[in-house]
């Protein structure tokens, strides 16, 4: 191969739609994942880390297209001389890999198999503001059991998880619905086999959150003018036909028994509908027995998200407190987690139906919620910075940081060019350091060190009068031997 020409300098940028995470963005997420893993583990779930790369064949959803095999995923062809290498792709979620893992290892895995998984997934989609092509998922699934106890358990675990990471009871609600009840409603409407009409009704139900009861009624029947003045065609049902859907969506009553009674009316004598209601009833009574009341988990037929995808119970966790959006309007924080039952997970691989149910938590949204509520710090505290007054005495400064670290205090020595002392303090400021330690030649000769409380110093500089300034010094002179004790005292006072 000819030698390549001299290239221009490469651009130092992430690819479009990707980003880097710095400092406590990383630490706080790691800490949250650990907390969640602890809860999952206590529930008997085992960790699984599947490979980030799968064959396109195993991922399944995105079958190879000769012209553009990477629709939706990042995919490439394994090199082989004949150009017939396998297509591989980055996983787009943690559920498709679970199906492959369970099919591959089912003889070695316990049945039922409870597993959790946490890690990045990748989507080859057009990036947008706040919309990245790599993001974290955090899933828990139980594979190999049709028992409603598995669904109830995951709802309880979701509730425990939210409280454990710092969302107090009352600030969230886990809501449960069931796809089978909806299927019963469709049967009661006489749409049991009419696939096109069913799809139209499902799409309309998905708009319930936005357009409400009256809107859904219009969309199911004669159509509707939307906010922009455009006319949206209706599905063309009669008012009578539309009634069971409305009854279903608005069936939530003051208590579970009331809700279930309303649902029974909505599904009439549809067998699948009756089955679905029985499932919700089982889930409700199992949760009651575990002490999970309606202040934490409730049956709510207005949960419509995911109803199209799942085959049985669906569940969703919402944060119910209000925040201000980017336009300053109050709104509920909204959903941070969703899941449900999907019973054809492994069938693609083995031909056998394997029932499964699982949940996914949006870790980044949950972190945003905790920041919003002031429950985790928006800014990290940096290390204590030991400044360098005399570059020949670096060993002295290293000894100081070693002492501080051995006492469990985060500390570092300034490693830049020490000539300009101002730069050292600017560095400490950029690091958000709580304390700077100073030992010049005079201090060394007198066996003392200067300790600067940078947090107090900044506060005084902002607002103090001259009197206060004199009364509350932010710099302390202590014997060298008291370095660690004084630093700890100041750190404690800053909390």
Taking the complex as a whole, how short is the minimal distance between the CB of residue 160 and a copy of itself, in angstroms? Answer: 8
Burial class (CB in 10 A: 0-12, 13-18, 19+), 249: buried
Q: Which of 185, 428 has the CB closer to a copy of itself?
A: 428
Q: Rounded to whole angstroms, how far apart are CA atoms 439 and 80?
A: 64
Of 160 and 300, which CB lies nearer to a copy of itself in the complex structure? 160
Query: Nearer to a copy of itself by C-beta: 373 or 410?
Result: 410
Least distance to a copy of itself, CB of residue 284, Å? 10
The nearer residue to a copy of itself, 316 or 412, going by C-beta atoms, is 412
Pick 49 or 325: Cβ nearer a copy of itself: 49
CB of 245 to a copy of itself, least distance (A): 32
- Three-class DSSP category at 136: strand
Please report the sign of the dihedral spanned by the C-alpha atoms of residue 419, residue 422, residue 427, residue 433: positive
Shortest Å, Cβ 101 to a copy of itself: 6
For residue 72, report the phi and psi dihedrals to the nearest 5 degrees.
85, -25
Rounded least distance, CB 381 to a copy of itself, Å:
11
Report CA 13 to chain centroid distance, whole Å: 26
Minimum CB–partner distance for residue 28 and a copy of itself (Å): 9
How far, in Å, CA of 144 to CA of 347, rounded?
12
Read off the tokens for 121. Answer: 């997934």
Nearer to a copy of itself, 184 or 340 (CB): 340
Q: How far apart are CA 106 and CA 15, in angstroms?
A: 38
Please answer whether residues 237 and 221 qualify as being in contact, where contact means their C-beta atoms are separated by less than 8 angstroms: yes
> Coil, helix or strand for 270?
coil
Cβ distance to a copy of itself smaller for residue 238 or 423: 423
CB of 6 to a copy of itself, least distance (A): 12
For a copy of itself, give the closer residue by CB, 46 or 322: 46
Nearest-approach distance from CB 328 to a copy of itself, in angstroms:
28
How far apart, in whole angstroms, are the C-alpha atoms of residue 201 and residue 245?
9
Q: Which has the closest alpha carbon to 403: 474, 487, 477, 476? A: 487
Helical (H) or strand (E) element with 96: helix 95-105
> What is the DSSP code (8-state) at residue 432?
T
- Closest contact distance (angstroms) between CB of 189 and a copy of itself is 30
Pair of tokens at residue 59: 């991922």
Q: CB of residue 67 vs a copy of itself: minimum separation in angstroms?
A: 8
In whole angstroms, give the CA distance from residue 166 to residue 363: 13
Q: Could you give the 3-state DSSP secondary structure of residue 421?
A: helix
Rounded least distance, CB 433 to a copy of itself, Å: 9
CA-closest candidate to residue 98, choices 45, 135, 58, 125: 58
Question: Radius of gyration over alpha carbons of the chain, in Å?
Answer: 30
> d(Cα 14, Cα 384) in Å, to the nearest integer?
32
Tokens, residue 176: 């449960």
CB of 327 to a copy of itself, least distance (A): 27
- Is the Cβ of residue 244 or residue 284 nearer to a copy of itself in the bound state? 284
Nearer to a copy of itself, 182 or 388 (CB): 388
Residue nearer to a copy of itself on the CB measure, 21 or 324: 21
Among residues 204 and 424, whose Cβ is nearest to a copy of itself?
Answer: 424
Which among 39, 62, 72 is positioned nearest to 140, based on CA atoms? 39
Task: Sort strands 113-122 and 134-143 into parallel, antiparallel or unpaired.
Answer: antiparallel
Cα gap 137→156, rounded to integer Å: 19
CB 491 within 8 A of CB 434: yes
299 contacts 259 by C-beta, under 8 angstroms: yes
């Amino acid at each position: 191969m000819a030698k390549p020409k001299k290239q221009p300098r490469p651009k130092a940028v992430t690819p479009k739609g990707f980003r880097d995470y710095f400092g406590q963005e990383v630490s706080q997420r790691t800490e949250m994942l650990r907390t969640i893993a602890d809860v999952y583990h206590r529930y008997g779930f085992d960790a699984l880390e599947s490979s980030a790369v799968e064959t396109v064949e195993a991922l399944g959803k995105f079958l190879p297209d000769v012209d553009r095999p990477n629709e939706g995923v990042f995919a490439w062809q394994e090199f082989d001389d004949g150009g017939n290498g396998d297509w591989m792709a980055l996983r787009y979620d943690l559920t498709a890999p679970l199906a492959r893992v369970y099919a591959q290892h089912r003889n070695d895995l316990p049945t039922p198999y409870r597993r959790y998984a946490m890690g990045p997934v990748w989507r080859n989609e057009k990036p947008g503001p706040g919309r990245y092509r790599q993001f974290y998922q955090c899933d828990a699934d139980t594979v190999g059991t049709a028992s409603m106890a598995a669904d109830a358990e995951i709802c309880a675990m979701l509730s425990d998880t939210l409280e454990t990471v710092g969302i107090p009871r009352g600030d969230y609600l886990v809501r449960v619905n069931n796809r089978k009840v909806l299927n019963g409603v469709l049967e009661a409407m006489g749409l049991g086999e009419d696939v096109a009409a069913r799809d139209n009704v499902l799409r309309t139900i998905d708009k319930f959150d936005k357009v409400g009861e009256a809107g859904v009624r219009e969309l199911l029947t004669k159509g509707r003018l939307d906010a922009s003045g455009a006319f949206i065609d209706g599905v063309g049902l009669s008012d009578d036909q539309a009634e069971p859907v409305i009854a279903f969506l608005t069936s939530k009553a003051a208590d579970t028994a009331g809700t279930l009674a309303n649902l029974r009316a909505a599904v009439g004598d549809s067998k699948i509908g009756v089955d679905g209601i029985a499932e919700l009833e089982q889930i409700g009574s199992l949760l009651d027995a575990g002490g999970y009341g309606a202040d934490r988990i409730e049956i709510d037929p207005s949960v419509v998200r995911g109803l199209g995808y799942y085959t049985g119970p669906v569940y969703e966790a919402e944060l119910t407190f209000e925040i201000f959006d980017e336009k300053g309007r109050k709104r509920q924080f909204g959903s941070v987690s969703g899941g449900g039952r999907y019973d054809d997970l492994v069938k693609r691989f083995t031909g056998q139906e394997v029932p499964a149910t699982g949940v996914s938590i949006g870790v980044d949204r949950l972190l945003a919620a905790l920041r919003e509520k002031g429950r985790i710090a928006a800014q990290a505290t940096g290390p204590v910075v030991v400044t360098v007054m005399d570059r020949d005495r670096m060993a002295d400064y290293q000894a100081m940081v070693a002492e501080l670290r051995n006492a469990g205090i985060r500390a570092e020595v300034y490693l830049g060019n020490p000539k300009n002392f101002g730069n050292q303090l600017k560095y400490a400021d950029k690091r958000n350091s709580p304390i700077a330690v100073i030992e010049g030649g005079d201090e060394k000769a007198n066996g003392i060190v200067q300790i600067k409380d940078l947090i107090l110093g900044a506060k005084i500089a902002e607002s103090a009068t001259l009197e206060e300034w004199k009364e509350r010094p932010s710099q302390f002179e202590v014997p060298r031997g008291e370095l660690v004790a004084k630093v700890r005292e100041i750190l404690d006072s800053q909390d």
